[in-house]
Chain A
Amino acid sequence: MKKSERVAGNVASYIDDRTGAAGWAKKNLTKVFPDHWSFMLGEIALYSFIILLLSGTFLTFWFDPSQQEVIYNGTYAPLSHVSMSASYASTLHISFDVRGGLLMRQIHHWAALIFMAAIVVHLLRVFFTGAFRKPREANWLIGIGLLTLGIVEGFLGYSLPDDLLSGTGIRIAEAIIQAIPVVGSYLSFFAFGGAFPGHVFIPRIYIVHVLLLPGIFLALITVHLMLVWYQKHTQYPGPGRKETNVVGYPLMPVYMAKAGGFFFIVFGVTAFLGAVASINPIWLYGPYTPGQISAGSQPDWYMGWLDGLVRMAPPLETHAFGHTISWNILIPGLIIPGILFTGMALYPFIESWMSRDNREHHLLDRPRNVPNRTALGAMSLSFMIISLANGGNDIIATHFHLTINGIMWFTRFGLFIVPPIVFIITKRICLSLQRADREIVLHGRETGRLVMTPEGEFLEVHEELTPEKKWTLTQHEQPAALTAPSEDANGTRSKAGIKGKVRARMSEAHVEQITSPTATEAHELEGGHH
């Protein structure tokens, strides 16, 4: 026996003697994970979170979350002797007087942007491939929770330095709180310890940012991963891949090396960004004061869609009975985001209800094979992108010689016109892709080679697909639409009847598809040729 094997054996028995975990460990160390690049997106988010914990801890060693006024006398000359809050001054100190401090700040902020971007692309992957279906609805909900908390955590984080840009963001957040009917001004005064900006808000959000929310994150991420572990990962359809199995690489050693290695890669890329690209140069923004503002004041990208919605809102307020309700803030700031996130959270349940599908699904959908869902996703995405674009309309205007008014009007109408168009186009594209699949399964792939038949005709040579490819393109189920329950004998519509009709109508839209080719059809065609 080699020495290394003996050591490994000793470690294993040491652990098993004390925990009896040998059986469990054996099973889990050989656990199989399917390999696909799109399964790494959630890992990017997970690793960015770890990077955030590490770099964030570094920053707390110097950061002073206090809004007490101090006079700056650090090394950054353009702010010398300027009065500012201690949190801003200590952020300047980290940036200019702690070696590697600016690097860590930039790593922290880039990691936050990557974290949010990775969550979004991970969510899109899960949505478009139907990975949220039974039994993974709970994990979908946890994911939506993580996304929501991520937005809040990011906002709180970039608000901490108390610079002019982030202070403006807090001012806007305060206006949203203040706009809540009945209790708004009370909530605002409680949150800010009095009139805006006060002296307590940053110390308070600091503890939320570094303790409360990271704690909740850790708990949710743990459950999220445990569920992935326990329920086993989904896999893409293909030869040998069934609902009843999972094909991939064992955790030890391949997946450990790949996933572990990928953590270092994500950290490396983040550090590289932190080294070469400036982010949130708070020394240029200046300290916050409510009387100042900079052109082009925007939030970070994951809040940009919200800001875009607020910008395009119509100027509506209700004044009645001595009270004011600001629809121009409530609709874009609370109501629309509420509807969007609730709809997103409920989608798995809606889909399972309308298709009466209560089975487990472990094989992923190819997005084209569920045109309605794919179109719905693309539609929602276009809504977000239009809102996000309007959130940067001033920068777009100056860089592409457009007018902010023009962009605003375009997005005001575009928000209602573009998503339905995107829905229709995406659905069409999906159906054409299905048609193309059908075509190549039955007639083979066009090779581009022309041959002349003995009769002098030119024919393009079609290459028959491999059985593996044919299976991949035709393996999916093609459920039929649910039928509406027939009307009662006396012709009255019962409540259940209407519900059934809605369900049947939704199901009909959901299953719209091109009939998959079958071996029988292929056989008949072959017969025809010869």
Chain B
Amino acid sequence: MSNEVTRFQDPGLPEHAHRKSDHDAIAANRAERQVAILFLLSAVGTIGTIASYILIDSKKFIYLPILGDTNAQQLALGTGLAASLFFIGIAAVHWAKTLMPDQEVIAERHEFRSSDEDRADFVTTVKERAGAAGLGRRSLIKRTMGVALGLIGLSPLVLLRDLGPLPKNDLSTTDWSAGVRLVTDPGDRPIKPSDLEVGAVAQVLPALPQGTERTLENIGKDAVLLIRIRPEEFNLDAERLSWTHDGIIAFSKICSHMGCAVALYEQQTKHLLCPCHQSTFDVTRAAKVIFGPAARPLPQLALTLDSEGYLVAKQGFTEPIGPSFWERNSA
């Protein structure tokens, strides 16, 4: 036995197997009719689409299993359009498969690499031309061109400066300050402690000065959640406890992680959950993070009462609300 190992050999492209429609005129005619029917179905789809656009009342609903009460026009337009497109496609493919030549052909490939002479010529040409431009010799031109091209991208960047104002301290401030009343969102009604039972929550915003319209930018910074629990359930240090009023505690509703509204309050566990990334905060411990990606508690808003007995902020937030940013200067 020889030591030569022979691999299996490529038997080459298998012989072409003819289709029924290749040699059977009846089969070929049948295929032609099938293609024709498919094209006609598409035409029917188009007519159906146009008819339903004109004839079906856009307010009409019909009951269908699985879908439920469905808008008749939307459904008819859609299925009509779908049929008109789909059947053209199916017809074309069926035509190609049954009636167009299905003998596989072989095309040769050539390596992309050019011949060695061509490549050498190419390199020479590049060198020659570059030399003609003097790129190698005139280094002053080369360097200054580098400087010019390197800088050219800066001007459009500078021109983008006016896209927006500088942040200044905007990320660190809110509309809350000493004496600002808490009002309901929506409704703008001031709140007395007696308005909240133990176990109650309220979504609140600061009362804005007369004549000021509340914008989404305001809400994005000011939204606060007001919660009342039994005072003995708090587990707070003296300062934070003094920020509460008779079991009522307030936190910024803007998540300290990525700014979603953390308003999902579980009354029994006293946990606040952010529905975006599931950071969980413990209300009794000044919104300490007990689960999830948030790294900081929600800022707490100090509360007190005004002369008329309404809840007001004792002071503004003592730290920036919302997600972190580079200039933020507190843990």
Contact = CB atoms under 8 A, between A and B. Distances in A.
A touches B in complex, CB < 8 A: yes
A378 B21 CA distance: 43
Interface stretch (A166-174, A343-351, A489-497): A166-174
A439 to B, nearest CB: 15
Interface string A291-305: 111111100000000
Given A185-B327, A264-B88, A317-B324, A275 B289 contact: no
B107 A245 contact: yes
Contacts of A337: none
B151 interface: no
Contacts of B163: 190-191, 193
Given A249-B105, A254-B100, A272-B86, A313 B329 contact: no
B326 interface: yes
Counting chain A CB atoms within 10 Å of each CB, which of B92, B327, B330 scores highest? Answer: B92
A322 B75 CA distance: 59
Interface in B3-50: 4-14
A258 B96 CA distance: 6
A296 B96 contact: no
A171 to B, nearest CB: 5
Contacts of A404: 278
B11 A32 contact: no
B95 interface: yes
B277 A311 contact: yes
B112 A275 contact: no
Nearest to B38: A261
A291 B253 contact: yes
Contact of A179 (B1, B88, B325, B331): B325
A198 B327 CA distance: 21
Contacts of A249: 102, 104-105
Contacts of B77: 99-100, 103, 275
A82 to B, nearest CB: 11
A258 B293 contact: no
A246 B107 contact: yes
B85 A264 contact: yes
Given A175-B258, A275-B75, A312-B293, A168 B81 contact: no
B interface bracket (residues with beta carbon within 8 Å of A)? 35 or more
B167 A186 contact: yes
Nearest to B78: A275
Given A246-B107, A247-B105, A323-B329, A240 B12 contact: yes
B10 A239 contact: yes
A245 B108 contact: yes
Contacts of B92: 257-258, 260-261, 264
B88 A172 contact: no
B132 interface: no
Interface string B303-331: 00000000000000000001111111111
Nearest to A321: B329
B67 interface: yes
B78 to A, nearest CB: 2
A405 B289 CA distance: 14
A217 interface: no
A66 to B, nearest CB: 14
A519 B6 contact: yes
Nearest to B253: A291
Nearest to A517: B8
A183 B166 CA distance: 11
B237 interface: no
Contacts of A176: 258
Interface stretch (B121-129, B219-227, B228-236): B219-227
Given A325-B326, A471-B10, A296 B293 contact: no
B217 A194 contact: yes
A287 to B, nearest CB: 10
A274 interface: yes
B205 interface: yes
B135 interface: no
Contacts of B111: 360
B136 interface: no
B44 to A, nearest CB: 14
Interface in A18-35: 30-32, 35
Contacts of A325: 324, 326
A211 interface: no
B91 interface: yes
Nearest to B327: A185
A103 B74 contact: yes
Contact of A189 (B104, B165, B328): B165
B325 A324 contact: yes
Interface in B233-260: 253-254, 257-260
A135 B113 CA distance: 10
Contacts of A181: 326
A291 B219 contact: yes
Interface in A316-366: 316-317, 319, 322-326, 328-329, 332, 360, 362
B89 interface: yes
A276 B67 CA distance: 7
A253 interface: yes
Nearest to A261: B92
A292 B295 contact: no
Contact of A297 (B161, B221, B257, B260): B260
A357 to B, nearest CB: 15
B129 to A, nearest CB: 25
Given A198-B217, A250-B105, A518-B6, A264 B86 contact: yes
A41 interface: no
A102 B264 contact: no
Contacts of A193: 163-165
B73 interface: yes
A475 B10 contact: yes
Given A190-B163, A268-B82, A272-B82, 17 more contacts: A103-B78, A171-B220, A174-B323, A175-B257, A184-B326, A185-B167, A186-B167, A194-B165, A194-B170, A247-B107, A268-B87, A275-B82, A290-B220, A293-B260, A310-B293, A311-B292, A315-B279
17 contacts: A171-B220, A178-B325, A190-B163, A240-B12, A240-B106, A245-B109, A247-B104, A266-B89, A268-B86, A293-B263, A296-B275, A312-B293, A394-B278, A474-B7, A475-B8, A518-B8, A519-B9
The 6 closest A-B pairs by CB, nearest first: A275-B78, A268-B86, A261-B92, A240-B13, A264-B89, A265-B89
Interface of B: 1, 4-14, 53, 58, 67, 71, 73-75, 77-79, 81-93, 95-97, 100-102, 104-112, 160-161, 163-167, 170-171, 185, 203, 205, 216-217, 219-221, 223, 253-254, 257-261, 263-264, 275-279, 289, 291-296, 322-331
